[in-house]
Structure 1
Amino acid sequence: MRRRLLRGTVGVLALVALAVGGVAILLTRLVPDRASETCAVVLEDGTRHVLDADQADNAALITAVTVRRGLPARAATIALATAVQESKLRNIDYGDRDSLGLFQQRPSQGWGTPEQVTDPVYATNAFLDGLVEVPGYTELPVTEAAQTVQRSGFPEAYADHEPEGRAFASALTGHSPASLTCDLPGQDDAAAPAEAVSARLEQDFGIATTAAGGAVVVEASALPGQDPQRLAWAVAHWAVATAVDTGAGTVAVGDRVWQRSEGNEAQWRPAERAPAPAGTVRIS
Structure 2
Amino acid sequence: MVLAILAGLGWGGYKVWKAVDPFATTEPEGCRVTVSGQSYDLDLEQSQNAAIITAESIRRGLPAHAATVALATAMQESKLRNINYGDRDSLGLFQQRPSQGWGTATQIMDPWYSSGKFYEELVKFGNWETISINDAAQQVQRSGYPEAYRKHESLAKAWSSALTGQSPSALTCINRSTETTRIQKLTSTARKGLASKVAVQATGSTVTFTATDPTLVRAAVALTMASTNLGPIDHATVATTNWKADPDRYAPWTAASGPSASPVSSGSGRAYGTVTARS
TM tier relative to shorter chain: 0.7 to 0.9
Which protein has the larger Cα radius of gyration, Structure 1 or Structure 2? Answer: 1
Contact 1:42 1:48 in 2 (8 A): yes
Deviations 1:116-153 (A, max 9, x none): 00100000000000111110211111122111111111
Going from structure 1 to structure 2, the CA distance change for 1:252 and 1:263 (only over 3 Å counts) comes to farther
Structure 1 unmatched ranges of 5 or more: 1-28, 30-34, 222-227
2:44 aligned residue: 53
Is 2:84 aligned against 1:93? yes
Deviations 1:27-84 (A, max 9, x none): xx9xxxxx9212111122x211111121111111111111122211111110000000
1:177-216 aligned at under 5 Å gives the runs 177-185=168-176, 188=179, 191-206=180-195, 209-216=200-207
Q: CA deviation at 1:283?
A: 3.9
Contact 1:220 1:231 in 2 (8 A): yes
Contact 1:60 1:242 in 2 (8 A): yes
Higher relative contact order (CA 8 A, sep 6+): 2
Letter in 2 for 1:176: S
Q: CA deviation at 1:164?
A: 0.4
2:220 aligned residue: 235
Going from structure 1 to structure 2, the CA distance change for 1:265 and 1:143 (only over 3 Å counts) comes to closer
Is 2:60 aligned against 1:69? yes
Contact 1:193 1:247 in 2 (8 A): no
Q: Which has the higher strand share?
A: 2
Inter-partner Cα distance in structure 2 for 1:129 and 1:57: 21
SS in 2 for 1:210: strand
Letter in 1 for 2:224: A
1:43 aligned residue: 35
Inter-partner Cα distance in structure 2 for 1:131 and 1:244: 28
Output the aligned Cα RMSD: 2.3
Structure 2 unmatched ranges of 5 or more: 1-21, 265-269
Q: Please, which of 233, 249, 253 is the counterpart of residue 268 of structure 1? A: 253
1:167-186 aligned at under 5 Å gives the runs 167-185=158-176
**TM-score normalized with structure 1 length:** 0.78
Letter in 2 for 1:42: T
Q: Which has the higher helix share?
A: 1
Letter in 1 for 2:104: T
Letter in 1 for 2:189: R
SS in 1 for 2:147: helix
